Chain A
Amino acid sequence: QITLKESGPTLVKPTQTLTLTCTFSGFSLSTSGVGVGWIRQPPGKALEWLALIYWNDDKRYSPSLKSRLTITKDTSKNQVVLTMTNMDPVDTATYYCAHRRRDGYNSLGDWGQGTLVTVSS
């Protein structure tokens, strides 16, 4: 059974850096083809894909946020970390991590419960 869980601060101040950790079980990020992605959802709005890291450490980012994002993995701890710099109130959202399946079509088959991050002074 695959599970993922996001953790991190619930409140950050503008200009601060957000660090979120996704801790997962049921798969290994050292297995060929595996990936973990981050997606966010502002309150009442649509889903927005942020970043993805593959088993081979290939990393992909949303072009609009690339300068602010860093995604890393710790295979031994089964964790993926997303950092986002220079936080702004518009970054207030629920942040999800998800497992990119090896189905040949990059579907996100399992998601964490999400963590709401509020940006406010």
Chain B
Amino acid sequence: DIQMTQSPSSLSASVGDRVTITCRASQSIGSYLNWYQQKPGKAPNLLIYAASTLQGGVPSRFGGSGSGTDFTLTISSLQPEDFATYYCQQSFSTPWTFGQGTKVEIK
């Protein structure tokens, strides 16, 4: 199985801050990397697919980069509605695997 390691596991930030979350795969996955946002009690919501392609309707303050084994999700200016848990997921090969999540909390 391909292991996905996210860091940090949690962070505290203020509205307007730039936030960066990293995700590392245990082997190369090309650009088969997706990011999801999950709010408490809700299903995950696709933010970015193919490592850097913004899903329709997702604000442009979200951005993704990387390829191979190292990936980054960036929120350029954190908004109140962005406080949530973020997961990366590799879809290069089954079993598809998720990172352990990064909880973004209000500072």
Binding site for B on A (CB under 8 A): 37, 39, 46-49, 52, 60-63, 96, 101, 103-114
Contact = CB atoms under 8 A, between A and B. Distances in A.
Contact of A60 (B42, B43, B95, B97): B95
Nearest to A50: B95
Contact of B94 (A47, A52, A105, A114): A52
Nearest to B34: A107
B71 interface: no
A112 B42 CA distance: 9
Contacts of B98: 39, 46-49
A112 B45 CA distance: 10
A24 B1 CA distance: 29
A87 to B, nearest CB: 20
Nearest to B1: A63
B100 A46 contact: yes
Contact of B43 (A96, A104, A107): A96
Interface of B: 1, 31-32, 34, 36, 38, 42-46, 49-50, 53, 55, 87, 89, 91, 94-101
Nearest to B50: A105
Given A46-B98, A49-B97, A111 B87 contact: no
A108 B97 CA distance: 12
Contacts of A103: 49-50, 53
Given A105-B31, A106-B32, A113 B43 contact: yes
Contacts of A96: 43-44
B32 A46 contact: no
A46 B91 contact: no
Contacts of A101: 49
A105 B49 contact: yes
A49 to B, nearest CB: 4
Contacts of B45: 111
A108 B94 contact: no
Contacts of B89: 47, 49, 108
Contacts of A61: 95
